[in-house]
Amino acid sequence: MNVSPGKVEIALFAVGFAMASLVLLALLWSGREAYADMARSNEVTTGVTTVSFVDHLTGAHVEMGLGPLVQQHAVWSAYVTGGIPDPPPPGRFYTADEISHMSDVRRVFDGAKILIPAGLFVMAIRLQRARSKSAATMFRLMRDGAISSGVALAVVGVVATVAFDAAFLLFHQVFFPQGNFLFDPATSNLLRLYPDWYWQGITLRIGLSFIGLAAAVAVAAAVGLRRALH
């Protein structure tokens, strides 16, 4: 029996695919290698090779090169993704407000991790239902769902590119309504560690990786569909 999947089935598969894939990719690109690569790209573009951190204990400035910056990021990344139990202590480089915000980021990550098995479960149920009709139906679901996810994210990406600052602010207002993400640029080392080039770079990497993954799934499903029909 050669049956096309319904629009609802395609939409549910696309949502499940996005849920699982985006969180996995966010975790993948949160590591030290990705940060180092983005920092090197910024150095090439701007010529800036060090960042001046404020020592809150003495008021002095500490120049941070690539190695120390990557190490600072590695500690924060390990904390917010659940790799270590405690954040850096407040005092020299980070204020209590900055640490409080990063604790909230960790809670968002903890919640987001649930989306991985949830998304995979939704996809598995949709695929099982489609497979019960025919292999061709299942492959059509995979192809159309992956394409739908990729196109939807591409549209969101275009909008975010045109108005990145507004989209970035909206994201923080939604996930951190308590408003503890607003820091003084003159004194915040967290803003120095994660300036615009980091957020733009990681957003681009996650977006392009997702579209590439969606395209790969769509192509594989199209090949499977062709074989199922012959």
Percent of the chain with pLDDT over 90: 78
DSSP for 152-167? Answer: HHHHHHHHHHHTHHHH
What span, in angstroms and rounded, lies between the C-alpha atoms of 209 and 194? Answer: 21
pLDDT value of residue 1: 54
What are the structure tokens assigned to 109, written together? 């990550």
In a domain, 86, yes or no: yes
| Mean pLDDT confidence for 5-22 | 95
**Domain assignment present for 23:** yes
Q: Strand locations in the chain, DSSP E?
A: 51-54, 61-64
81 vs 78: CA distance, rounded Å: 5
Q: How many CA atoms lie within 13 A of 177 on its CB side?
A: 1
How many whole angstroms separate alpha carbon 214 and alpha carbon 201? 20
Q: For residue 2, tell me if it sits in a domain.
A: no
Exposure of 84 in the CB half-sphere (CA atoms within 13 A)? 9
Distance CA 18, CA 216 (A): 14
The total of structural domains in the chain comes to 1
Beta-strand pair 51-54/61-64: antiparallel
Tell me the pLDDT of the chain averaged across its residues.
92
Q: What does R_g of the chain's alpha carbons equal in angstroms? A: 21
Instruction: List the structure tokens of 2.
Output: 């050669």
Q: Which two tokens stand for residue 91?
A: 């005092």
Bridge partners, 54 (sequence order): 61
Whether 189 is covered by a domain: the verdict is yes
CB atoms under 10 Å from CB of 163, counted, come to 11
Residue 76 domain boundaries:
7-228
pLDDT at 49 over 60: yes
- Residues 158-202 have pLDDT tens digits of 888 888 888 888 888 888 887 778 899 999 999 999 999 999 999
Q: Does residue 49 sit within a domain?
A: yes
Q: What is the DSSP string of 99-132?
A: HHHHHHHHHHHHHHHTHHHHHHHHHHHHHHHHHT
- pTM strictly above 0.95: no
Q: At what angle do helices 196-228 and 164-175 cross, to 10 degrees?
A: 90
Would you say residue 1 lies in a domain? no
Residue 45: pLDDT band with limits 50, 70, 90: confident
